[in-house]
């Protein structure tokens, strides 16, 4: 496989308008990105990704319509990347997943890091901050829209890591391809749950 060309959008691509523009080109390049990978996407999975692309774009538009400003997005905000002692709290692993986007996209990783009860509590407390923007029921729905978009951001981050691996970390390409596949399958699962 020839080294694909990164397009330098890694930081800015998480903004909803730019994310919308990236969906079709990204899905179109998946066969070359995932060439020679283990456990590749099935034909049905590939077809479903293309089928849900318009819905993902609609979710971007609906989230943008809420009028909540974009904020910093770590992209891998789980317990293993938060170091805490008696005096400090440090967030580590600022890598290829960092960007600026709708703040609800930042919820997916920490929510998946906890059991359902704790995840619900965390989500409710977080959404209370935005209660003056929209009713709580609408905010909960917006978190549902944001979840597959957050997985999409993760997939795009792994896309960039694959491009980087061709220049400095060639041994890591297969690992990044597997992470990309995991994100894509998360998108599929989350979208199927909404049907």
Q: CB–CB of 43/67 below 8 Å?
A: no
Confidence of residue 171 (pLDDT cuts 50, 70, 90): low
User: How many angstroms separate the CA atoms of 188 and 159, rounded?
Assistant: 17
Specify the pLDDT at position 96: 61
Portion of the chain with pLDDT greater than 70, in percent: 89
pTM, 2 dp: 0.88
Quick one: the chain helix, strand, coil %, rounded to 5?
A: 65, 5, 30
Specify the pLDDT at position 16: 94
User: How many angstroms separate the CA atoms of 110 and 2, rounded?
Assistant: 36
* Backbone torsions φ then ψ of 75, nearest 5 degrees: 90, -20
- pLDDT tens-digit readout, 130-148: 999 999 999 999 999 999 9
- The rounded mean pLDDT for the chain is 88
């Amino acid at each position: 496989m020839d080294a694909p060309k990164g397009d330098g959008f890694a930081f800015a691509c998480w903004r909803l308008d730019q994310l919308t523009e990236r969906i079709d080109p990204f899905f179109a390049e998946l066969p070359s990105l995932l060439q020679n990978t283990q456990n590749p996407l099935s034909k049905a999975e590939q077809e479903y990704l293309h089928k849900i692309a318009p819905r993902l774009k609609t979710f971007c538009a609906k989230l943008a319509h809420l009028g909540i400003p974009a904020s910093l997005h770590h992209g891998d905000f789980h317990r293993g990347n938060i170091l805490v002692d008696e005096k400090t709290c440090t967030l580590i692993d600022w890598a290829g997943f960092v960007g600026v986007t709708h703040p609800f996209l930042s919820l997916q990783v920490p929510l998946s890091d906890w059991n359902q009860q704790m995840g619900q509590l965390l989500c409710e407390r977080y959404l209370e901050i935005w209660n003056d923007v929209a009713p709580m029921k609408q905010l909960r729905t917006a978190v549902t829209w944001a979840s597959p978009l957050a997985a999409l951001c993760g997939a795009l981050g792994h896309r960039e890591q694959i491009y980087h691996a061709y220049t400095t970390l060639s041994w890591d390409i297969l690992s990044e391809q597997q992470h990309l596949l995991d994100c894509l399958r998360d998108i599929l699962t989350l979208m199927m749950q909404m049907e």
